[in-house]
Amino acid sequence: NQPYLLEKLLASIPQDKKDIQTIVVDDKSESTHLNAVKQLKEKYNFEFYQNDKIKSAGICRNIGLEKANGKWILFADGDDNFVSGFYDKISKYFNSEKDVIFFSPKSQHINTGKVADRHLSIEKIIKDYLNLKSRKSELLLRYNFMAPWSKMINKKFMDIHNIKFNKEFGAEDVMFSTKIGYFMKHFEVSKDVIYCIILRYGSNSRIFNESLFDIRLNARISRIKFLNQNLSKKEKDELNSFIIN
């Protein structure tokens, strides 16, 4: 339902690179936006698919995963975009055999273009890991970098561990990111910025109501149960002070 923002995202992805497969999955846009989506299909030489089930970012991302045939996966939300020159930053890792490559994002307000604060918590996780390389900073990287974007994920690694998204609206990323952090063995962290989060009122991350609260709470409970069952006592003790964040 935000084709003008989606176009900014698509425009930030180079069309002349033969080693990128760009997949766009429309999350049940309302009929008033379908003509604009059709125009984007005609303008951009990317693959377009439709989620015909319940409205869910998780279902859309799973559709993308089913269609993806490359070595690496990069996710993006339809109202964000990649920064200028991001291709050169990620292409350095195309031949890597790591499970995950982490990058730092930035954020800005949609109306003013000024720097926002949505990226600061992840930026701190990245900086702390690069500066400290401590066990705590690694655990924070593994389990508090909750977003699916701003990281390159090896598709073979995801397939081996059957890592996919939940379909529940508002809690799609929680267990996905938790399992990425738990199962990854070989990873790399880059100080480069490749992704820009656009802060706007009305986006899914800014919606708060009783139903969504329950969904997000249950997702966090599932996350804590998973970590309690799979982490060592020492790891749980180290994580205890910040795992519910």
Tell me if the pTM is above 0.85.
yes
Judged against a pLDDT cut of 50, whether residue 179 lies above it is answered with yes
* pLDDT value, residue 215: 79
Question: Model confidence over 82-138: pLDDT tens digits?
Answer: 999 999 999 999 999 999 999 999 999 999 999 999 999 999 999 999 999 999 899
For residue 86, the surrounding DSSP H or E stretch is: helix 86-91
Q: Tokens for 12, please give them.
A: 């930030």
Q: Half-sphere exposure of residue 109, counting CA atoms within 13 Å on the CB side?
A: 7
The CA–CA distances, whole Å, from 135 to 69, 129, 151, 170, 225 equal 34, 9, 20, 30, 21
Q: In the predicted model, what is the mean pLDDT of residues 163-182? A: 88
Judged against a pLDDT cut of 70, whether residue 245 lies above it is answered with no
* pLDDT value, residue 4: 93
* pLDDT value, residue 39: 94
Judged against a pLDDT cut of 50, whether residue 203 lies above it is answered with yes
Residue of 139 and 216 predicted with greater confidence: 139
* pLDDT value, residue 71: 98
Strands (E), 155-186: none
Question: Model confidence over 143-157: pLDDT tens digits?
Answer: 999 999 999 999 999
Query: Phi/psi zone of residue 113: left (φ > 0), alpha (ψ -120 to 50 degrees), beta?
Result: left
Q: Tokens for 167, please give them.
A: 């379909």
